[in-house]
Amino acid sequence: MKPPSTSADFRHMRSALALARRGLGNVWPNPAVGCVLVREDLTHRIVGRGWTQPGGRPHAETEALTRAGDLARGATAYITLEPCSHVGQTGPCADALIEAGIFRTVVAAIDPDPRVSGRGIARLRKAGIATDVGLLDLEAKALNSGFWRRQQDARPEVTLKVATTADGFVASRTGASQWITGPEARRHGHLLRARHDAILTGIGTVEADNPMLTCRLPGLSHLSPVRVIMDSKRRLGAESALVASADIVPVWRIGAEEEGPASGPSAVVDLIAPNVAHEGLNLTAALALLSDEGVTRLLVEAGPYLSTAFLRLDLVDQLAWYRAPTVMGSDGHAVFGSLNVERLADMKGLVPSNTMQLGADNLTIYTRRLEA
């Protein structure tokens, strides 16, 4: 029977999780992993830290081992996800840990990727390295929930972002919407963009607002997500701000093969999804396309029609709802359209998981309610 985890084990694993968060939004299709190397014989000295680098490589373990150098020998490695055991563009991290002389490993979660799942742990144990699994596993899985969603359901995790008045309206009857929320909430919205792999909106929003959909926080512009436009009839014009900046931040357009011009702006990547009769593009197929491209975390910033469609199809994993302390009344445009609810039991169930005050505005994060 293995000894229970110590307070030091928890502390170092939390440090590894904090390092892993640095990779959110810029390491896809890989998971964001953190690694901390500790020499217990040197008064618990941390000799190496690492996290998954932009683009997904080098991996966290490789980074930590490089920084530790010879001091890695005899260390305990705290890793937020099972070390890889397969050969990709680089060698297996499990082998690197073995060759470095790691004495013990503490792993938060087993990798859901079938190429790895359990094999990395088995390789470490076969080499004689004491390996504990499961410390803060729920936190580790929550951090990489998009990676889990893509592995299990072949689609990215979807976060729907909305910004409304207190009574749930996104624009006045004339269409005026800038700005309902204040500068603090808008800055947080840009941070949300930086933590996602891609951001999706509809062609109607593009034509009405001509948005950039980038992260414009100082020092974080390089974390702008891939911009995805749902454009069934391929109406995206070369004059849009998106196309004008597509050589800096990628733009992907999802359209139907039989609709619109055969070609569009050269800087835009076209993806083809089937139409659903009288409803436009097939959202489920569109998410599968994005998963095939490696997207694990998708932020949806769209108008009421597309936002409602995601909810109706039960494709929303998280709802980020920014509310301003203002009331518009029924003359405005509601944030959501009809969800065909006739009975209270038919309502979409959400669970509030976090709330914060952003200047005068409030943000509540909701997650999907799991069926009993």
Dmax (CA) for the chain in angstroms is 70
Asked if 40 is an active-site residue, the reply is: no
- Angle at which helix 7-20 crosses helix 60-68, to 10 degrees, equals 110
Beta strands 333-334; 169-171: pairing state: antiparallel
CA distance 10 to 33: 16
Write the DSSP assignment of 191-235 as a string of letters.
HHHHTSSEEEEEHHHHHHH-------STT-GGGPPEEEEE-TT--
Amino acid, single-letter form, for residue 172: S
Question: CA torsion sign, 120 to 125 to 131 to 136?
Answer: positive
Write the DSSP assignment of 157-173 as a string of letters.
EEEEEEEE-TTSEEE-T
- Given 40, 61, 207, 293, the catalytic residue: 61
**What residue has token string 């990798």?**
111
Q: Catalytic site residues?
A: 61
